Structure 1
């Protein structure tokens, strides 16, 4: 039993190092930028809510499922946005589970006739959990009675749950049709070690995102295009520890339907066996009503990781009608 436990710990430590270095990420960040930056809280200047569901590598034993739910509100009198979000992630390989609840606040500052500045902060409470209940150690076995004890005094037995406070901050500069945002997550570097006597600070996550939208009729004169048809170019660079990722792509918004693709790349610190382009991520969306939007994306793996069956992601968002619908400072790309 000792050997079995030690093998499990070795596998667990490998998994922890991977989890510690990489936060949950979403392909459809351009639809729900709150996943990246608390500065986007309330940026639609109307009540806005939604959910994201991500299923990663369903054909492998490393299947990862991530759920995200959010709601944000705009307080015009206070020139502020507030938001709430919850995230849950599970991994099949080691019964790992992450759950976290966050509260966001952002303030709008008008810099010029066109530009706005939105600094934001996020404070959250989270816990990481590993399922050790299924382990049976040597000192739990009683050969004489044939009854196994539910507890162990083995010094290697770790805690099953880690609780922590998490603080993040960000800022967004935007006009009605463009934005650039910067965020830094885990500023306080919370300790996520399963051992009481150890300190394993969570790596900070840097994100730089940008986007620009343009009406298609300003580029081409095609009579069958809807008047409000748009092209949205977007990009996001993230770095956490020695891991980084760059996503760039375009989305075509034909009012009722949306379609496009992003490309995910490993920019720096690649090994000789790694790839620059790691996945191609087509996206399709539909506006069920003027305010209700559904989206689905599929990440096509381009590396040699094996037959993973890709990554599926589903989103559903609703933007409530607001009396500030035509406000000049509202970024239109998330409507």
Structure 2
């Protein structure tokens, strides 16, 4: 009996962790709007994309996440506007998250080389959990080997909670370098599933930087196309007691790109935490107006055989020569 209660408490701890932490995508370099709304309309054209993520498929706690966005540039407003949808499902507990967002960014010309793009995102979200299969201790009759349908415990949780969500971002960039900062969940919405409860969603702070350079300007690499580029990227995130720092690089060779990013856990909240949690392998290509991306996160922590994490993505851009920074293959050389 005590073992059942211990397992149940552990499950609740996992559920709370899922609800409190935002999904972070490995391919944030292709979908920077997931972290910073200043990238809305950044290419000054029309763009649509879909990103799918499957996490730990070999464990019972498999999590699937999907992100879809559409944004465009409005020259008369000197602004980018867009909409996006985020969906997340955890199979073991049937926890799910769905959020719809409207995003806006305004372009300010600071100098001949530097632009400043403040952004704002407003969303409406739904979090739900299936309590139908929840069995409490007093429902278990070991003598008759039956399970009673009714419990005397005063537990009446909501199956779903809805909330308004507000985020803001800042983005600075020139032709080769960009740095952005964002703060999600500024209003700290209440996501408690208990009637009358108060569980504020922790704000997520993120700083994203990147630098893109043409290798021919520094090295004499005759065996590679003259347009070959190297992109260096870093992304730091903090939410509640948890943080994460990703850093890595990608080679952009003609219409193909490949590289690797290391995901780290600087805080190491427990004694058994690993500094480097995964090494993320990346690749992709561009075909006409489409861009295709794939990534696989190789687990290097002590979680065991998780099956890793993989992502698949596709992006359609109306103007394939659109100007963009920080995203491989956004610019045709």
* Structure-2-length-normalised TM-score: 0.90
What residue is the counterpart of 2:188 in the other structure? Answer: 189
Residue 5 (structure 1) shift: 9.5
What pairs with 1:1-335 in structure 2 (closer than 5 Å)?
Answer: 10-135=9-134, 155-289=154-288, 291-321=289-319, 330-331=324-325, 333=327, 335=330
Could you tell me whether the CA contact under 8 Å between 1:48 and 1:71 is conserved in 2?
yes
Number of equivalent positions: 322
For 2:308 and 2:260, locate their aligned partners in 1 and report how far apart those are by CA, in whole Å.
15
Q: Are the counterparts in 1 of residues 125 and 163 from structure 2 also a CA contact under 8 Å?
A: yes
Identify if the C-alpha distance between structure 1 residues 333 and 88 changes in structure 2 by more than 3 Å, giving closer, same or farther.
closer
User: Which region of structure 1 is more displaced relative to structure 2, 234-243 or 216-225?
Assistant: 216-225
C-alpha separation in 1, matches of 2:60 and 2:179? 38
Q: Secondary structure at the match of 1:239?
A: strand
What is the RMSD computed on CA atoms of the aligned residues?
A: 2.4
Task: Give SS of 1:17's match.
Answer: helix
The answer to whether the Cα contact below 8 Å between 2:268 and 2:274 also exists between their aligned partners in 1 is no
Alignment partner, residue 144 of structure 2: none
Query: For the Cα contact (< 8 Å) 1:37–1:183, is it kept in 2?
Result: yes
CA contact (8 A) 1:20 1:203 kept: no
Contact residue 51 and residue 68 of structure 1 kept, 8 A: yes
Give how far 1:13 is off: 2.6
Q: Kindly state the Cα deviation for residue 331 of structure 1 after the two structures are TM-superposed.
A: 3.1
CA contact 2:167–2:183 (8 Å) conserved in 1: yes
The answer as to whether partners of 1:184 and 1:206 remain within 8 angstroms in 2 is yes
Once the two structures are superposed, residues 53-107 of structure 1 have per-residue CA deviations (whole angstroms, 9 ceiling, x without a partner) of 1000000001010000011101112110011110110112211000001000000
Deviations 1:247-280 (A, max 9, x none): 0000111121100000011112443211111110
TM-score (norm 1): 0.89
Q: Give the unaligned 5+ runs of structure 2.
A: 140-147
| Structure 1 residues not aligned, in runs of 5+ | 140-147
CA change 1:8–1:273 in 2 (3 A) is closer
Contact in 2 for aligned 1:213/1:333 (Cα 8 Å): no
Question: Is the contact made by 1:176 and 1:332 (CA closer than 8 Å) also made in structure 2?
Answer: no
Distance 1:270 1:199 in 2: 24
| SS across alignment from 2:16 | helix
Cα 1:81–1:68 shift into 2, 3 Å: same
Could you give the per-residue CA deviations for residues 208-249 of structure 1, whole angstroms, max 9, x where no partner exists? 000000012112222332232211000000010010000000
Task: Provide the C-alpha distance between the structure 1 equivalents of 2:127 and 2:3, rounded to a whole number of angstroms.
Answer: 23
CA drift of 1:206 comes to 0.4
- The offset of 1:153, in angstroms, is 8.6
Tell me, in whole angstroms, the C-alpha distance in 1 between the residues paired with 2:123 and 2:255.
35
Other-structure match for 1:144: none
- Is 1:47–1:319's contact at 8 Å kept on the other side of the alignment? yes
Secondary structure of 1:213's aligned partner:
strand
Shift of 1:15: 2.2
2:143 aligned residue: none
Aligned-partner SS, 2:118: strand
Change (3 A) 1:273 1:10: closer
